Structure 1
């Protein structure tokens, strides 16, 4: 699969469809995509139209509920926002994977000049991780 690189001023939302457009050939069984709130907007319709997948935007449980309209005589419906860190649904999958990759010394910083080298190193780290886990299962 070819690496997609574009200018830094190109919005991630706009680049997402360019990135995902070739994935049905690589992952034919893929049907659902999770994204954070930065990808709200037309992306869901684009993904559904071009790829036939569904897009789920992962939001905080209180998103959009802090300042809601209420009738004149009714008390405003306020949602309590917890203090501190809140785990978002499915967000841990991405963060955990980045942590696994970051444990490899070569992947702890972005030292590589070519994106192809970084991509191959990600494959190497994940292959090593899976072989290590499979070896535990076999023995």
Structure 2
């Protein structure tokens, strides 16, 4: 498990707590053993998704300390 609190960026009100991540992580698909490695930390991608839902901002308006909007958007589809 990746600790949400150990990230080196400011936290947002929409960020998942460690407890919330523990509950959500088992519900997410496991990374494939073959193929390309993920471009971003899954915790940060999920935090990006929740940031958009919480703030109502446009994809391209994600803060720069979250993964790029293209990465977050791709993970949603």
TM-score by length of 2: 0.32
- Higher radius of gyration, 1 or 2: 1
Higher strand share: 1
Q: TM-score, normalised by structure 1?
A: 0.21
| Higher RCO (CA 8 Å, separation ≥ 6 residues) | 2
